Amino acid sequence: MSAKTDELLARIEGLEKELQAELAKQSAGLHFSLEHSRAIFEEEILRRHREMQVRLTKYIMGARPLVVLTAPVIYALIVPLALLDIFVSFYQAVCFPAYGIEKVKRADYLIFDRGHLAYLNALEKLNCAYCSYANGLLAYVHEIAGRTEAYWCPIKHARKAIGAHAKYIGFVPFGDAEAYRKRVEEIDAGH
């Protein structure tokens, strides 16, 4: 990469760190701490959270009819999501060691902490667990696919790739055959 590209990446990294620090300050005002990856709230905050919980019957009875009718469609996706999880995890377990690609830690992507929030009722907790699984799984799969692409075909596309993974920025430019051959040699030399 060029010096200008390296400079821009360093600035982006600095801004990301600054953003994380600002978000951490905002979270600090919510009066919880993390113990063994579990959020622990102060007793007064917990009491107020419990008071804000909407009872399950009221929650269900207040739901719009279209929400009730479409819920089975949403939850039916659990089957292909679980199959995707199984197949991609198997793929990574078999192929990544063979290629010398560092494995993706599934636990870093599948985070189920919202179920500990006292202001959520049982159905809201189930919904949050479902969303955590679906989005965490897709991020996990995205990272596995990104590492695979970085190994097999680290070439940028001719047009802008929306939602590209983090490794994409380091891919060789589209049409730069010399850079591609050099990258392939580097990958081969690393194994």
The pair of structure tokens assigned to 125 is 């907790």
**Inter-CA distances, 113 with 37, 43, 131, 139, 149, Å:** 8, 18, 12, 17, 31
Q: Which tens digit of pLDDT belongs to each residue from 52-100?
A: 999 999 999 999 999 999 999 999 999 999 999 999 999 999 999 999 9
pLDDT of residue 124: 97
Q: What mean pLDDT value characterizes the chain?
A: 91
Q: Flag whether pLDDT at 178 surpasses 90.
A: yes
pTM: predicted TM-score of the whole model, two decimal places: 0.83
Mean pLDDT within 106-135: 95
pLDDT of residue 33: 72
DSSP H helical segments within the chain, as ranges? 3-28, 43-52, 56-61, 65-76, 78-99, 122-152, 177-189
